[in-house]
């Protein structure tokens, strides 16, 4: 296998190697300045037991279990938030199965740094006859040090709750580009 | 008694609609054990103090 080694000016080196398979392939590097992202952080966390809310109160979803968390940057114990250490543009999605016993409003949102500004919120206040799945997703810039995101829900009806399950009420995200 | 009920008792002009997502009062709970609190208050009535809320 042929390879090219680029040595750093003071330390480190990168090796670029051709795959050991037949065929001719071409790698074209775009004519622009920037970083090539090899593998960025990604996570999937979810609510593992039904979470009771207070009617009319925006409440942080307790994402207390992780399906995966490639870089260990999702706090599923204390703050239920994702704080990436790689700066860039991230795609996040929060999906929740909301429940209330009365007809009411249900909204989900992704907060950045504790507030709605910079985050995303579902654009329809769908009513909740009983169970209702709500989703919100968006592209959010994270600075790779202090920025964090959290999932919040609002239910206006009586006996409100977020239903548990790995594919029922979950929070996902991954780095799209630096 | 919930925080909404306390606020409505202290400020009778506040209605349930004020607590809707597009309303004038935003309540929040950060799931940190500290309970519900007033995150934003844009109602014409004055915001109740913590002392008032505790007294209800």
pLDDT digits (tens, 9 = 90+) for B4-49: 999 999 999 999 999 998 899 999 999 999 999 999 999 999 999 9
Average of per-residue pLDDT across A7-25: 87
CB within 8 Å: B31 and A61: yes
Kindly list the distances between the CA atom of residue A174 and the CA atoms of A47, A84, A89, A140, A168, in Å, as whole numbers in the listed order. 19, 10, 9, 10, 19
Per-residue pLDDT, A24: 86
**Taking residues A42-52, what's their average pLDDT?**
97
Assign B1 a pLDDT band (cuts: 50, 70, 90).
very high
Residues from chain A contacting residue B27 (CB–CB below 8 Å): 54, 56-58
How would residue A146 be classed by pLDDT, with cut points 50, 70 and 90? very high
pLDDT of residue A123: 52
Give B2→chain A minimum CA distance, Å. Answer: 8
- Chain B residues touching residue A60 (CB < 8 angstroms): 29-32
How would residue A117 be classed by pLDDT, with cut points 50, 70 and 90? low
User: For A121-136, how does the pLDDT look when each residue is reduced to its tens digit (9 = 90+)?
Assistant: 665 555 656 778 888 9
Q: pLDDT exceeding 70 applies to what percent of chain A?
A: 91
> CA Rg, chain A, in Å?
21
Confidence at residue A128, expressed as pLDDT on a 0 to 100 scale: 59
The residue of chain B with its CA nearest to that of A80 is B31
Q: Does the interface ipTM go beyond 0.95?
A: no
Distance between CA atoms of residues B54 and B56, nearest Å:
6
B27/A80 touch (CB, cutoff 8 Å), yes or no: no
Q: Which residues of B touch A54 (CB under 8 A)?
A: 2-4, 27, 29, 36
pLDDT digits (tens, 9 = 90+) for A86-116: 999 999 999 999 998 887 888 899 999 988 7
CA A52 to chain centre: 23
pLDDT for B40 equals 95
Please give the residue of chain B at the shortest CA–CA distance from A121: B21
Q: How far apart are CA A11 and CA A50, in angstroms?
A: 51
Using CB atoms, pick whichever of A51, A56, A61 lies closest to residue B27: A56
Run of H or E residues at B6: helix B3-10
Residue A133, pLDDT score: 84
**What pLDDT score was predicted for residue A178?**
86
Interface test mutation site (partner B, options A58, A79, A100, max chain B beta carbons within 10 A): A58
**E-state strands within chain A:** 3-7, 13-17, 42-46, 51-52, 57-60, 65-69, 74-75, 81-82, 88-99, 106-112, 115-121, 131-142, 149-155, 161-162, 170-177
A67 vs A117, residue with greater confidence: A67
């Amino acid at each position: 296998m042929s390879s090219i080694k680029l040595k750093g000016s003071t330390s480190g080196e990168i090796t670029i190697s051709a795959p050991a398979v037949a065929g001719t392939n071409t790698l074209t590097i775009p004519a622009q300045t920037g970083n090539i992202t090899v593998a960025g952080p990604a996570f999937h966390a979810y609510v593992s037991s039904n979470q009771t809310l207070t009617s009319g109160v925006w409440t942080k979803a307790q994402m207390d279990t992780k399906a995966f968390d490639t870089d260990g940057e999702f706090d599923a114990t204390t703050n239920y938030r994702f704080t990436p250490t790689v700066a860039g543009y991230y795609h996040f999605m929060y999906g929740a199965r909301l429940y209330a016993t009365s007809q009411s409003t249900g909204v989900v949102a992704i907060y950045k740094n504790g507030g709605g500004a910079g985050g995303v919120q579902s654009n329809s206040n769908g009513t909740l006859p009983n169970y209702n799945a709500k989703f919100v997703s968006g592209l959010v810039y994270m600075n790779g040090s202090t920025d964090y995101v959290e999932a919040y829900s609002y239910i206006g009806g009586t006996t409100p709750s977020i239903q548990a399950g790995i594919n029922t009420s979950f929070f996902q995200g991954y780095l799209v580009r630096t | 008694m919930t925080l909404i009920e306390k606020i409505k008792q202290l400020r009778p002009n506040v209605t349930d609609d004020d607590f809707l997502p597009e309303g004038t009062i935003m309540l929040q709970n950060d799931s940190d054990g500290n309970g519900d609190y007033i995150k934003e208050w844009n109602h014409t009535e004055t915001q109740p103090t913590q002392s008032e809320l505790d007294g209800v």
